[in-house]
Amino acid sequence: MIPFLRRLKGQKIAIDTMIFIYAFEEDPAHLPFLRPFFSALEKGEMEAVTSTVTITECLIQPYRLKNFTLAAQYMALFRNFPHLSVIPVTDDIAERAALLRANRNLKTPDALQLATALISGSSFFLTNDENLSSIHDINVIILDRIPLDLHT
């Protein structure tokens, strides 16, 4: 097991869009962490949330390519993956996102993702967006910074 995953056991983790895209499209640079991460999630070793914004962002490319099979596979993942909740944008999330956007100059999708993480009570926000590393309202985990040394 990757030692870093031990830190996430029993926690609620908010997951940014790109993490799902890397995993679903089996990006070889990120699979050494994402396979065990999603396996642990599937087993219930942690809980995860993501925003409905993630659905929108994940479906853009399949729809552009008219790959409706891939779009349906993404939707099945979001509807059925164990221990993953897709959180709709509520008034509270929208308000918190506006505050984050105003104070941190974030893009609206990033602000909505972070607001979802905060409102849902997540301990961590898993992303690969370096621009979000300066957010201190939640523990931001940058995927490319995770040590993968299996002997640590």
- pLDDT score, position 58: 97
- pLDDT score, position 151: 36
In terms of Cα–Cα distance, which of 104, 147, 107 is closest to 16?
Answer: 107
pLDDT 10s digits, 104-137: 999 999 999 999 999 999 999 999 999 999 999 9
pLDDT 10s digits, 19-41: 999 999 999 999 999 999 999 99
What is the distance between the alpha carbons of residues 136 and 152, in angstroms, rounded to a whole number?
26
User: Average pLDDT of 85-114?
Assistant: 97
C-alpha R_g of the chain = 15
User: Average pLDDT of 97-107?
Assistant: 95
pLDDT 10s digits, 53-80: 999 999 999 999 999 999 999 999 999 9
What is the distance between the alpha carbons of residues 127 and 130, in angstroms, rounded to a whole number?
8
| Domain covering 11-144, topology | Rossmann fold (3.40.50)
- pLDDT score, position 10: 97
The pTM of this model reads 0.94
Q: Quick one: tokens of 31?
A: 């699979």
User: Average pLDDT of 77-94?
Assistant: 98
- pLDDT score, position 148: 66
Phi/psi of residue 73, each to 5°? -65, -40
- pLDDT score, position 152: 40
